[in-house]
Structure 1
Amino acid sequence: MIEDEVECEYCGDSFDKRGLGAHQVHCDDAQEEETQPDSIPSEPSDFEAKVRTRDDGQCARCESTQGLVVHDVDPDVGQERANAVTLCVACDEELSGLHPRTKRTKIGAQ
């Protein structure tokens, strides 16, 4: 492999490191991996069921009813209903890693 080449983590092909990102966007092996579920979804716990019921079974941001997860707004607080919110996967990914105050602002919580 040439010094400026890197290997695609999905298909193993070598590319100039400046073009790897563009390749991975279109790499068939990468797209197949993204469509595979990480695990079979389990039944929600009692805590998650209560939060989802409180949030009317929809995402608190976009009102989607598909792919819902219960998100802890502040991971340091733990499982308290006041700290949890129902989000769709897309909104959950968008809010992950943000400061709890920023999350609350984006969710619209008080």
Structure 2
Amino acid sequence: MSVHTLRRRRQAVTWTCMIDVYLMFKQKIVLKVQMNCEKCRTKALKVVADADGVSFMGLKGEKKEDIVVVIGEGVDAAKLASSLMKKVGHTDIVSVLHEY
């Protein structure tokens, strides 16, 4: 085996370990979603419920209309925001917190 092949394998193992450790931590994701009606709120909660790794979700805000809070392990915030944008409306990622 060449040195180049060994380096590639070592990098692949390192990245796999880093991803596994990253996915083990609980995350709290706060998203701001443009929801104009009850149907939009229901659709947003369905999209979040279908995401992998979600253990808790809820609506937050003055009238519980625009902030979605998601807690789970291994949830991809960008993918979730993209899904919400396609199905519901404009979506912004407010914060992603990792809990150890």
**Same fold (TM > 0.5):** no
TM-score if structure 1 supplies the norm length?
0.32
TM-score if structure 2 supplies the norm length?
0.34
Q: Which has the higher contact order (CA 8 A, sep 6+)?
A: 2
Asked which structure has the greater CA Rg, the reply is 1
**Greater strand proportion:** 2
